Structure 1
């Protein structure tokens, strides 16, 4: 719902605040006062095209700011959040549109956004009916949606079941088409996987085998150097035996004995002697292991050749399937799983095709039910709208709602077309063709009233009507006002009108006034709400052009009283 609009330097409006409330709000004023600029400002907030020519002469830019209540529109609030905007704690969001020479800017909830984001949000929140605006129900898709809404909750449940099945079928068919189109590619991939797995199976690598073989080759290829180094180390540690002069074991033993002899005079040296004894034992162990190593280390050309051959075989695998044998084994595991998936493709396609056939049967049954309920609802909607038209100075006009078969789609197998017969004997024509702007506005009003009556607790958008009363007067004008009031029971309605008979039904009455600025003699426009006597005077002006006329005032009071009774 729109809570208010603030306008600065737009057309003849220097600064104006337009308070809006629930129910029916009418905007009236003298011709040329600036009512059009109010609607222009609303259009800018709703993502409409910006025209720098609408900036007030002498001003650098025009600014329109509006506050929207999204508390009953959680999906729209979510879209605001996606765009980076923020809603206030009370569920409202501020929209700002700035128009300057050559450019315009839009802000939503404090964040700059593209103009298209405002239009996207407006599509959910506001519907404008006027001669210069696209009618919401002009396209077949929107007409189908309107008929579906009128058809009721049971029809909506059937339609939702159909759409769910359609979505599943579409996804399955896409996957089938993809698998079928890639059959040759999948076969080639499977063959390459089989060749790779066969090669790996033939070589039969073991985890870490390449690391172990590399170490073995290094050992066998350098056996003499390793033996010589180990022997020199052994001799340095123990020499020919533990008593060899200059050996490490002999030097440690001498040091231990010296400390043990001195420890008699200073017990602190006993600990050091013990540690030297432990070092001697460790050196002896090292010497034993080195001796064993030298004894076991023998040159083995055959074993070296075998190791080189095995490494070459493993190297051919690592060049193709990884940098190490462990990488090769991981590739083998992954390839096996992928091969199972590829080999299972035929079974999967057959299974999906069977499911598609089941869904086709289900969709056909659901589409038949949808068509039946649409045809039934079409007759009721046409009768309801036609009855409304009779009271809107369009006696003899009728609406026909045509439901024809078409190719199945996500919303069924029907095309819905609204046809208007403007007078008896005239051929039915698609809505929006062959009727004046005022007639179209009244048809839209009749349709919206019929839909609102059937909507129940559904949250409807804000409706804005411009020139809905064009070409009517007298009793018909009263009926226009009455139907706007009926529509306003379930949603917010804003109407720009020239007729007192319509304005009398308003819950909020706003008057657009113009005056001359004292500083530069330019014409400026303001907007003010009127109540009580001020409202009677405005209605009297609309009736006779003389707001002080007693007869006009009496007529205005009668309109207000009759509108209250007629609601």
Structure 2
């Protein structure tokens, strides 16, 4: 509930401090006294859109502070926790408007954004008036109101869960279809590439091995002829032949040289042994340098094929194997795709059926509740002198959503046989206010967390009808705190607390103030509302009778 409101230097209010009570709080005053200013100030501290210039003339800044009580379980507590703001049994909102237009908001002495303020206000206060296009007159909210009246919370949760499952199944199907379409678009490329890779079948590290073999063969081709000539020079036709010829000559002369040739012949023998080893080594090297003349060509062809394929697909030669695996996986997805699509289509069908089943149950509950709501409205409209009016809750087929597949609209016909239509297009000002009040009485269950504000909702009615309006406002106030701005003495007499808005002139400046009334002052104010400018004893007696009733 709203506990207090403090206003400083806003519009024509210099300073006002108000303490509100539970139940019905009424606000009265002469026309032009500034009753709307109080609502402007409350709207300002709650972050509502309103007047651009609020600071009182001559003041540097204006400020409004509102204190609300927050019992356990109040929805505002969750909003405070989400915003990392202090949570207590009291909520203090303060908003400052400086003369240069800058506005600053505080919640429990912590600075907050306007968005946080508006989220809080939506769970704190509900405003109703004859131009209530954001409340009961807004058709977009009628479905939620009917669900609250019908206590459809559990069914709504089922519908929401089924909607999410349906959306998930459709999303999975769409993703699979998109993936399949993408693979199908490159099917020819995939099949050709996989065949090409399978035919070549490159191995890890093969490119480096082939490159080494190629370089070796290229070098061998260049040096083999030199090695062959060296072998020829060392062999029987070369150094070996000459050395053996020299050895024969020395052997023939040794007997006649009396030992002088023994040492040279020994050296020559060792040289022939070394020469044989050298020749053998050269022969082995020459054998190693021998290769199939077509081997180099074959090696180069495979090396170039591997490198060309790697360039074509933009990968490293050693990554061709892994690349081939990924292409085969995409082909397998293509081949298995149609089967998976069929499975997912089946899942979507099941999810659609499950959603439709629970949405139909919710729709049936809404239609039954609509009948009960219409009956309850008929019972409320009769005392408001609108027994000939017809209120009808229309439940029609709508687009599927997380809240079901029904559209809900409150319609009225003010006279039998007259066409029914939206509240704000069919009803006159006085009729509209009574329709709204009857709706609020019927729908007030569960509204105890909100402060309900009715702004001149009794305009255009009087006498017994005004009395019926007052009685119904008092009934709503049994469930929730109500603040009503009224011109009706019958409504004012039902209040648990009464405030009067009045103007005064001080130092040539008009100021507005809000004054709480005691019993005598309250009787006089209601008498003024009955009689007008000149309050008579008869008016006072009538006021006392209203207060006593």
Q: Are 1:540 and 1:555, in contact at CA under 8 Å, matched by a contact in 2?
A: yes
Q: Are positions 1:433 and 2:420 aligned together?
A: no
SS of 1:427 mapped into structure 2: coil
SS of 1:149 mapped into structure 2: helix
> Which of residues 435, 438, 452 in structure 2 aligns to 1:446?
438
> Which of residues 440, 456, 481 in structure 2 aligns to 1:467?
456
After alignment, is 117-126 or 490-499 more displaced? 117-126
Instruction: Determine the structure 2 residue equivalent to 1:139.
Output: 138
Q: Structure 1, residues 287-308: CA drift from partner, whole Å, max 9, x if none?
A: xxxxxxxx9xx77888998877
Instruction: Determine the structure 1 residue equivalent to 2:182.
Output: 185
Instruction: Determine the structure 2 residue equivalent to 1:151.
Output: 150
Q: How many residues align?
A: 485
Q: For residue 141 of structure 1, report the CA deviation from its aligned partner.
A: 2.9
SS of 1:92 mapped into structure 2: strand
Give the TM-score, by structure 2 length: 0.72
Give, in whole Å, the separation in 2 of the partners of 1:469 and 1:484: 10
Q: Cα gap change, 1:215/1:516 in structure 2, threshold over 3 Å: closer, same or farther?
A: farther
Instruction: Determine the structure 2 residue equivalent to 1:529.
Output: 516
> Which of residues 389, 392, 398 in structure 1 aligns to 2:384?
392
Q: For residue 13 of structure 1, report the CA deviation from its aligned partner.
A: 1.7
Q: Are positions 1:357 and 2:349 aligned together?
A: yes
Instruction: Determine the structure 2 residue equivalent to 1:482.
Output: 471
Q: Are positions 1:161 and 2:138 aligned together?
A: no
Structure 1 vs Structure 2 CA RMSD? 4.3
Q: Cα gap change, 1:551/1:207 in structure 2, threshold over 3 Å: closer, same or farther?
A: farther
Q: Cα gap change, 1:532/1:358 in structure 2, threshold over 3 Å: closer, same or farther?
A: same
Q: Cα gap change, 1:131/1:106 in structure 2, threshold over 3 Å: closer, same or farther?
A: farther
Q: For residue 349 of structure 1, report the CA deviation from its aligned partner.
A: 2.3
SS of 1:9 mapped into structure 2: strand
Pairwise mapping of residues 486-505 of structure 1 onto structure 2 (< 5 A)? 486-505=475-494
Instruction: Determine the structure 2 residue equivalent to 1:172.
Output: 169
After alignment, is 35-44 or 124-133 more displaced? 124-133
Instruction: Determine the structure 2 residue equivalent to 1:9.
Output: 9
Give, in whole Å, the separation in 1 of the partners of 2:290 and 2:545: 123
> Which of residues 105, 110, 113 in structure 2 aligns to 1:107?
105
Q: Cα gap change, 1:221/1:383 in structure 2, threshold over 3 Å: closer, same or farther?
A: same
Instruction: Determine the structure 1 residue equivalent to 2:37.
Output: 37
Q: Are 1:7 and 1:63, in contact at CA under 8 Å, matched by a contact in 2?
A: yes
Q: For residue 130 of structure 1, report the CA deviation from its aligned partner.
A: 1.4
SS of 1:432 mapped into structure 2: helix
Q: For residue 328 of structure 1, report the CA deviation from its aligned partner.
A: 4.6
Give, in whole Å, the separation in 1 of the partners of 2:91 and 2:189: 61
SS of 2:37 mapped into structure 1: helix
After alignment, is 372-381 or 498-507 more displaced? 498-507
Give the TM-score, by structure 1 length: 0.70
Q: Are 1:206 and 1:325, in contact at CA under 8 Å, matched by a contact in 2?
A: no
Q: For residue 220 of structure 1, report the CA deviation from its aligned partner.
A: 9.0
Gapped runs of 5+ residues in structure 1?
Answer: 224-294, 563-567
After alignment, is 320-329 or 441-450 more displaced? 320-329
After alignment, is 188-197 or 521-530 more displaced? 188-197
Q: Structure 1, residues 146-182: CA drift from partner, whole Å, max 9, x if none?
A: 22222234xx433432343234334434554555466
Instruction: Determine the structure 1 residue equivalent to 2:49.
Output: 49
Q: Are 1:540 and 1:547, in contact at CA under 8 Å, matched by a contact in 2?
A: no
Q: Cα gap change, 1:5/1:221 in structure 2, threshold over 3 Å: closer, same or farther?
A: farther
SS of 1:433 mapped into structure 2: helix
After alignment, is 377-386 or 469-478 more displaced? 469-478
> Which of residues 510, 525, 546 in structure 1 aligns to 2:499?
510
Pairwise mapping of residues 103-502 of structure 1 onto structure 2 (< 5 A)? 105=103, 107=105, 109=107, 110-111=110-111, 113=113, 118-119=117-118, 121-153=120-152, 156-177=153-174, 179-180=176-177, 183-207=180-204, 312-316=304-308, 318-319=310-311, 324=316, 327-406=319-398, 408-424=400-416, 426-453=418-445, 455=446, 461-502=450-491
